[in-house]
Amino acid sequence: MSSIRQGHLFSLQDLLDLEPTQRYTAIFEGINITPLLTIVSKKVGKGAPQSLTYSAIIYSLFARILEGIPTIKLLVRRLKNDVLFRLDCGFSFSDRVLSEVSFSRLIRKIKTSNVLDEMNDTLVLQAIEEGFITGKHIAIDATHVEARDQAPQKEEVEVEQPVKESKKRGRKKKEAYKGARRNREQLASFRTENRKAIGSHLR
């Protein structure tokens, strides 16, 4: 039984000659990663320079933020499985993707230096010189803020409460006693006169 060998749509050389796409070019061109390359690049005396691979690694860390990739483990998986994403980050088709441990070691090396602070200061000064910011109020904040729709505020209607007269405690004054006594005397006199009138009527 004869076997049919399927031909390749692209040759291996064509795949090796693939160039990175222009997806993140506008962002990467505005970031000077030379200070980062000085920190992370290995000092080799022989062989081809490795700055191109390290630049792609640094760009992949930026692309991780742009793509919302939460962990380094998922970044490594994305670089291995998504060829276009690798090319967007600056890797060539033949470049080896670093392991999660190697990425963590590189990030640790960056954190232990003050290169990020220096890059931020340079970027701020450049923005001030070009007039994008004034320099009066400068702050760094990467906190995620959850946006919520604000409910309309209800108009508060003020209802006038009846004012209660406060009752004074303690013994009543003499005028109050005299008034009550006078009322009782008038009521007794009225009853007496009423009885007399009724008696005379019955006779």
Question: Higher-confidence residue: 30 or 36?
Answer: 36
What is d(CA 90, CA 77) in angstroms, rounded to the nearest whole number?
Answer: 16
pLDDT reading at 90 higher than 90: no
Mean pLDDT of the chain: 73
Specify the DSSP class assigned to residue 130: T
pLDDT of amino acid 202:
47
Q: Which residues contact 83 (CB under 8 A, 6 or more apart)?
A: 93
pLDDT of amino acid 75:
93
164-167, long-range: CB < 8 A, 24+ apart: none
pLDDT of amino acid 170:
56
**Closest Cα partner for 91 from 67, 116, 55?**
55
pLDDT of amino acid 152:
58
Instruction: List the domain boundaries for the chain.
Output: 12-129
pLDDT of amino acid 79:
92
Highest averaged pLDDT of the listed ranges 36-45, 154-163, 165-174: 36-45
What is d(CA 39, CA 30) in angstroms, rounded to the nearest whole number?
Answer: 19
Give the H/E segment covering residue 160: none
Q: Which residues contact 107 (CB under 8 A, 6 or more apart)?
A: 61, 72
pLDDT of amino acid 178:
63
pLDDT reading at 1 higher than 60: no
The pTM of this model reads 0.54
Range name among 49-58, 106-115, 177-186 with the lowest pLDDT average: 177-186
